[in-house]
Structure 1
Amino acid sequence: MRSIQRSLSLRIWHAARDIALAWGRIFYLAAMVWVLLLSPSTYRWQSLRPILQRMYKDTASILLGFTILAALICLVITRIVVVTAISYGLSRYALEMVIRVLVLELIPLTAALFVAMRCTIPNATELALIRQSGEWDARQSRGEALMRLEVLPRVISGLYACVTLAALSCVVALVTAYIGVYGFTLAGLPGYTRMFGHVFNPSVTLVFVLKTWLSSWAVAIIPVATGLYAHRTHRQMRPGEELSGLARMFAVLLMIELASLMGNYY
């Protein structure tokens, strides 16, 4: 019995230690990125070029696909909300509900998840393969600044892609919501802009900007930290470590979403 209790307490201790170590590495990487961003040497052409190349490569490759996906999602949700509101006699509130559901809640989260699946998680896998192959240690022994050349471009690219897709998808959502309600006419534009200004008051706008910014950081930092600092056995990542990184990322996104809901509606 004592051996079972001792084994259980040891497992709990190891689990708590691994969790604390994982979050410590995430915060350490975030602090390191901020230090590099504030460093003037980062903005020299030799260091800035890989960042710009990575930003263009990651964002341009997913821009068209996400725009089409966002337009389809917005059209479907707009139609569902409008038809449901009309059936319950709430047609005057239909457009406001569409804007709140799409722009305030769904679009930033969708953009963050899309960037995670298409950009930051594959970038983290690339870093993990560099570490596994021994290339990281070899280049580091030659004095190369790998945090600036390999890690920083991937993190900044994730941030840029997430913010860009969120901004683009908001425009797409506003256009598709207008077309879904009023059709191809400018008659409803005055009322639409007045309703938009009513929804996006200063407090809601601040919550929206903070939500998008924090979601972008979570998507950009957590997968990269998982791939960069993962434990390895026999030159491979420890089983379940990638899933743990994804679970941490989803947990952070969920907390950000809950905080934004509280800020908007409480």
Structure 2
Amino acid sequence: MNLSQATWGFAERVWEGALETAMGWWRSVYLGAVVLVLLLSPSSYLGVSRARMAYQLYVQTGPVLLGFTALAALLCAVITRIVVVTALSYGLSRYALEMVVRVLVLELIPLTACLFVAMRCTIPNGSQLVQLRLRGHGEALQRRGIDPVRSELLPRAVGGLFACLTLAALSCVVALITVYLSVYGFTLAGLPAYTRLFGQVFSPGVTLVFALKTLFFSLAVALIPLASGWYSPLPRLRREGRELGGLARMFAVLLIIEILSLMGNYY
């Protein structure tokens, strides 16, 4: 093989990789648009579709609710203790509580909730969709006059989105309660100061950024693994077994959203 052939082969591989990456991003965007349209369609909430959606809402949220709540409370208690003790040793106790609220509630908890749902629900759901496609389940549904996207993909996407939002909201409440108990104990004496601090941290702009970040986190976690499992070419799925590019895209989107939220909050 001469130099020109090696250069041409390298350029061809780079082009194929870039094209596949662009197609992966396009599939994720397309799936988001499809899910949005189906969510706004009244027919998605009738008959069997409603039952499937209700089942996915329960399966992806109910079994993990108690365990994640306990995990969030333990994580918040440990981090609060570390930050408070460290701040006291450096004479910065007046800033400790605000720093804990900002780090836990604004930054750490939403990301932790979405990653938990991704590992527990949406990534396995993407693998399930791959197995369904390999068995020809989608074609069988189409022959029976059933839309496989509405029947199989939409309920899983809605379930993942609901699980992310629910766990994020619940864990934020748990974090606020845990932080208060860790600092003030079982007394109401610190409630006025804690409430005032909460109001100072959650200004209207910060609250808006927090809500948007949690929503986009949830959309990324709910849609990207499913798009990778549903729209990737079957020959490549048979050869590789799973679509690692979808996970890379998901983490890249989460990182971009986090950077944008930090810029919105602190710059």
TM-score by length of structure 1 reads: 0.97
Which residue number corresponds to residue 141 of structure 1? 143
Give the aligned residue type for 1:40.
P
Structure 1's 143 and 45: CA in aligned 2 closer, same or farther, altered over 3 A?
A: closer
1:207 aligns with 2:217: no
Tell me by how many angstroms 1:240 deviates: 7.4
Q: How does 1:255-266 map to 2 (within 5 A)?
A: 255-266=256-267
Q: CA deviation digits over 1:217-256, x for unaligned, max 9? A: 000000000111122338x544275221111101100111
Residue type matched to 2:173 in 1?
A: V
C-alpha distance in structure 2 between counterparts of 1:160 and 1:237, whole Å = 31
In 2, Cα distance between equivalents of 1:219 and 1:89? 40
Match of 2:250 in 1: 249
- Contact 1:222–1:248 (CA<8 Å) still a contact in 2? yes
Whether 2:76 is the aligned partner of 1:53: answer no
1:49 Cα deviation (Å)?
A: 1.6
The residue type paired with residue 225 of structure 2 is P
Contact 1:231 1:238 in 2 (8 A): no
- The farther-off stretch of 148-157 and 136-145 is 136-145
Structure 1: unaligned runs, 5 residues or longer: none
> One-letter code of the match for 1:114?
F
Alignment-derived partner of residue 196 in structure 1: 198
CA distance in 1, matches of 2:46, 2:136: 28
Q: Does 1:130 align with 2:127?
A: no
Q: Count residues with an aligned counterpart.
A: 265
TM-score by length of 2: 0.96
Q: 1:206 to 1:237 in 2, by over 3 A?
A: farther
2:118 alignment partner in structure 1: 116
Q: Structure 1 residues 213 and 238, CA, compared in 2 at 3 Å: closer, same or farther?
A: farther
CA distance in 2, matches of 1:19, 1:241: 15
CA contact (8 A) 2:127 2:242 kept: no
Distance in 1 (CA, whole Å) between partners of 2:176 and 2:76 is: 9
The 2-side partners of 1:154 and 1:237 are apart by 22
Partners in 2 of 1:84 and 1:104 — Cα distance? 20
